[in-house]
């Protein structure tokens, strides 16, 4: 039974074109996640799923195996769950039995090997088949406002909007970097969220998920100022 790291890296990003291979402090963004996965020492295979030739070349240069993504799963409407399910079934059909899967997003270059180890270790907790990297909210989540087309805003959760934060208890959010699952449970749920899920808490400065030019600039600033990379 093997432990698989999957790094999804599609070439068709819209808000920040070519984000998976943009130069980030001297290396392609993708390289940081491959290196962190390798340094974690917990995986039997590190696979980059992509339909893009340049991304595939970068992945191979930095030591990952490339899995050519089927065209049907490289569309804007394709989900990462679909990509993972298809790959797991294909690997099983070839005789590879994966017991654990960790989905690592290439757009989180400040996440480190220790964070990956910590998330994977949560799967060894009794009755834990789903684990995630999380961080604290920067604003009160229960006071979220829903933007209306006419410019008005309304509380997303009116029953919570006026509650004191200390009465609601601590709240955290997945930081979009790291998801670990027991393969059988994942295939049954078809989701990275499931019963008994646990979270590894990461600080804000390692939790930037790069999706826009502003995210990119923030991540660079944090990395330089805190010597994170």
Which domain CATH number covers 46?
3.90.550.10
Q: What is the pLDDT of residue 138?
A: 87
Question: Does residue 144 lie within any of the structural domains?
Answer: no
Question: Does residue 87 lie within any of the structural domains?
Answer: yes
Question: Does residue 127 lie within any of the structural domains?
Answer: yes
How many other C-beta atoms are found inside a 10 Å radius of the C-beta of residue 11? 18
Question: What's the structural domain count of the chain?
Answer: 1
Q: Are 59 and 20 in contact (CB under 8 A)?
A: no
Q: Are 177 and 133 in contact (CB under 8 A)?
A: yes
The Cα–Cα gap between 1 and 149 comes to 51
Question: Does residue 148 lie within any of the structural domains?
Answer: no
What count of Cα atoms within 13 Å lies in the side-chain half-sphere of residue 220? 14
- Both tokens of 175, joined, read 């930081």
Q: What is the pLDDT of residue 229?
A: 65
Question: Does residue 213 lie within any of the structural domains?
Answer: yes
The SS3 call for residue 84 is helix
Question: Does residue 186 lie within any of the structural domains?
Answer: yes
Q: Are 101 and 180 in contact (CB under 8 A)?
A: yes
**What is the domain extent for residue 21?**
2-137+171-226
Question: Does residue 184 lie within any of the structural domains?
Answer: yes
The Cα–Cα gap between 182 and 222 comes to 33
Question: Does residue 142 lie within any of the structural domains?
Answer: no
Question: For the chain (length 229 residues), average pLDDT per consecutive 10?
Answer: 96 90 96 98 98 97 96 90 97 97 97 98 96 94 95 96 90 97 98 97 96 96 82
**What dihedral do alpha carbons 15, 17, 18, 20 form, nearest 10°?**
-10
The Cα–Cα gap between 100 and 65 comes to 17
């Amino acid at each position: 039974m093997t432990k698989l790291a999957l790094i999804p890296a599609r070439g068709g990003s819209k808000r920040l074109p070519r984000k998976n291979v943009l130069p980030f402090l001297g290396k392609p963004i993708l390289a940081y996640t491959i290196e962190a996965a390798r340094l974690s020492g917990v995986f039997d295979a590190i696979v980059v799923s992509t339909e893009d030739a340049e991304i595939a070349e970068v992945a191979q240069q930095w030591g990952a195996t490339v899995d050519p993504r089927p065209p049907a799963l490289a569309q804007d409407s394709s989900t990462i769950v679909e990509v993972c399910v298809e790959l797991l079934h294909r690997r099983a059909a070839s005789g590879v039995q994966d017991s654990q899967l960790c989905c690592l997003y290439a757009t989180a270059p400040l996440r480190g090997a220790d964070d990956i180890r910590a998330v994977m270790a949560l799967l060894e907790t009794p009755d834990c088949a789903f684990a995630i990297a999380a961080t604290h909210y920067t604003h009160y989540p229960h006071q979220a406002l829903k933007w209306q087309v006419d410019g008005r805003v309304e509380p997303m959760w009116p029953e919570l909007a006026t509650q004191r934060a200390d009465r609601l208890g601590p709240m955290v959010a997945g930081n979009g970097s790291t998801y670990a699952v027991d393969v059988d449970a994942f295939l049954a749920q078809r989701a990275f969220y499931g019963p008994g899920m646990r979270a590894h808490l990461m600080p804000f400065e390692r939790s930037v998920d790069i999706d826009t030019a502003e995210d990119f600039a923030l991540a660079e600033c944090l990395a330089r100022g805190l010597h994170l990379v």
